Amino acid sequence: MEATPDTTIRPLPAKKIAASRLSRWRWFKDAGARTMLGATAVIICLLIVVITAALTARSWPILSAYPLAELLTGQVWQPMRGLFGFAPFIAGSVAVTLVAMAFAVVPAVFSGMYLAEYTSSRTRSALKPLIDLLVGIPSVVYGLWGVLFIVPLVRDHIGPLSDRTLGQFFPFFARTNPSGYGLLAAGFVLAVMVFPLIVAVTEEVLRSIPREMRETLLALGATRWETTRCIMRRAALSGTLAAIVLGFSRAFGETLAVMMLIGNTPRIPSSLFDAAYSLPALIANNYGEIMSVPLYESALMGAALLLLIVVLGFNVMARLVIMRLTKRS
C-alpha cells in the first residue's frame, strides 16, 4: 500500500525560524509553552489517579482493620460500636438508581432518537433549551421540588392507590411507609435529573452514524421509524447502552436530591415505598461527626472510594465505547 502523503500543516522548522535573534526568542517561547502546557495536560490526565490514590490512602485504616467482604456485606452500621456494614447503603443506592432508570431510560432514548433523527435544525434549537435547563437546575432545587410536590403525591395518591391494587399481590408494591419519603419519590426525581444526560449522549451517538446509512434505508422504501429502528439496532446499540450506563453512574453518585427524598433509613429496601439510604447521602450526612469516633472518617472515605470505583468502572467502559463509535465517522 502506498503511504499517504503527509498533508498536515506545520509551522516552519525551528531551525529556520531561529535564524535571527528576535526569532530565537519567539522559538524559545514556543518551546517553553509547549513543554509547560504539555505537562499540565499530563497532570490533568493523572488527576483521576491522584484522587483514587488519596481516597485509598485515607480509607486504608478501615480497609486493613476489617476484611473487605465483611465491610461490603455487613448489615449493621454502628460506628460507635465499631460496626461498619456498607450493605444497606449499597443496596439503597442500587435500588434508587434502578428505580430512576426504570423511569428515565425509555423516554430518554426515545427523546434522543427524536432529536437526532426527526428534527430540523430549527426545531432542534427550539428544543435544546429544554434539555439545557433540565441539566442546569441545581440538585437542591430538584430535591426541594421533590419535597414539595412528589412526596405529597406519593403519600396521598400513588401510595394508597398502589397499595389497594398491585400491593395486594406483590409485596414490592405494598405501601410500607406512609411518609412518602422513599425509593419511589427519590427515584422519580433522580430520573428527571439523569434524563437530559441520556438524551444528549443518545443524540450524539446517533448523529455520529454516517448519513449514507439513512439514505440507503430510505431509498429502499423504509419508513422513517423503520430507518431509525434499524440504525438503532445495527449501529447505535452499543452507544445507546453506553448512554444508559452513563446515566446509571450519574444517578448512582447523585447526593443532595436523593438525600432529601430517600428517607435516610439504613436498611435493605424490599418495597418501592421503603425508605432507604444511599452511599453519597451517608458521606454527606455524617461528615460533621467524623472526628469523634475512631475509624469513622476512614469509613466515610472508604464509602467515597467505593462510589468512585463503581462510577469510574462504568464511565471508562461507556466512554471507550462512545469514543470508538464517534471516531469512526
Measure the CA–CA gap between 238 and 201, rounded to whole angstroms: 12
Q: Which of 17, 94, 166, 230 binds other proteins (CB under 8 A)?
A: 17
* Contacting range for other proteins; rule: CB under 8 A; set: 30-38, 68-76, 175-183, 262-270: 30-38
Rank residues 186 and 307 by Cβ distance to other proteins and give the closer one.
Answer: 307
Q: Which of 79, 167, 253, 266 binds other proteins (CB under 8 A)?
A: 253
Is residue 30 a contact point for other proteins (CB under 8 A)? yes
Is residue 26 a contact point for other proteins (CB under 8 A)? yes
Rank residues 169 and 221 by Cβ distance to other proteins and give the closer one.
Answer: 221
Rank residues 170 and 225 by Cβ distance to other proteins and give the closer one.
Answer: 225
Question: What interhelical angle do 224-234 and 211-219 show, nearest 10?
Answer: 130
236 in Cβ contact with 206 (< 8 Å): yes
Is residue 110 a contact point for other proteins (CB under 8 A)? yes
Q: Which of 19, 72, 98, 323 binds other proteins (CB under 8 A)?
A: 323
Instruction: Tell me the sheet residues that pair with 83.
Output: 78
DSSP state, 166? G
Instruction: Tell me the sheet residues that pair with 77.
Output: 84
CB atoms within 10 A of CB 121: 7
Task: Convert residues 270-289 into a mask of x (bound to other proteins by CB under 8 A) and - (unbound).
Answer: ----------x--xx--x--
Q: Which of 63, 65, 87, 147 binds other proteins (CB under 8 A)?
A: 147
**Minimum separation from the CB atom of position 137 to other proteins (A):** 7
* Contacting range for other proteins; rule: CB under 8 A; set: 69-77, 80-88, 137-145, 171-179: 137-145
Q: Which of 19, 24, 47, 98 binds other proteins (CB under 8 A)?
A: 47
**Minimum separation from the CB atom of position 49 to other proteins (A):** 10
Is residue 220 a contact point for other proteins (CB under 8 A)? no
Contacts of 5 (CB under 8 A, 6+ apart): none
Is residue 86 a contact point for other proteins (CB under 8 A)? no
Measure the CA–CA gap between 16 and 12, rounded to whole angstroms: 7
Measure the CA–CA gap between 267 and 88, rounded to whole angstroms: 5
Is residue 93 a contact point for other proteins (CB under 8 A)? no
DSSP state, 13? P
Measure the CA–CA gap between 75 and 87, rounded to whole angstroms: 5
Q: Which of 224, 234, 324, 328 binds other proteins (CB under 8 A)?
A: 224
**Minimum separation from the CB atom of position 269 to other proteins (A):** 21
* Contacting range for other proteins; rule: CB under 8 A; set: 80-88, 130-138, 163-171, 177-185: 130-138
CB atoms within 10 A of CB 197: 21
Is residue 139 a contact point for other proteins (CB under 8 A)? yes
Contacts of 197 (CB under 8 A, 6+ apart): 135, 243, 246, 247, 250
Residue 141 Cα distances to 57, 145, 182, 250, 319, angstroms? 34, 6, 18, 17, 29
187 in Cβ contact with 258 (< 8 Å): no
Binders of other proteins: how many residues, by CB under 8 A? 88
Residue 266's nearest CA partner among 274, 257, 256, 276 is: 276
Is residue 256 a contact point for other proteins (CB under 8 A)? yes
* Contacting range for other proteins; rule: CB under 8 A; set: 60-68, 69-77, 78-86, 147-155: 147-155
Rank residues 30 and 215 by Cβ distance to other proteins and give the closer one.
Answer: 30
Phi, psi of 81 (to 5 degrees): -95, 10
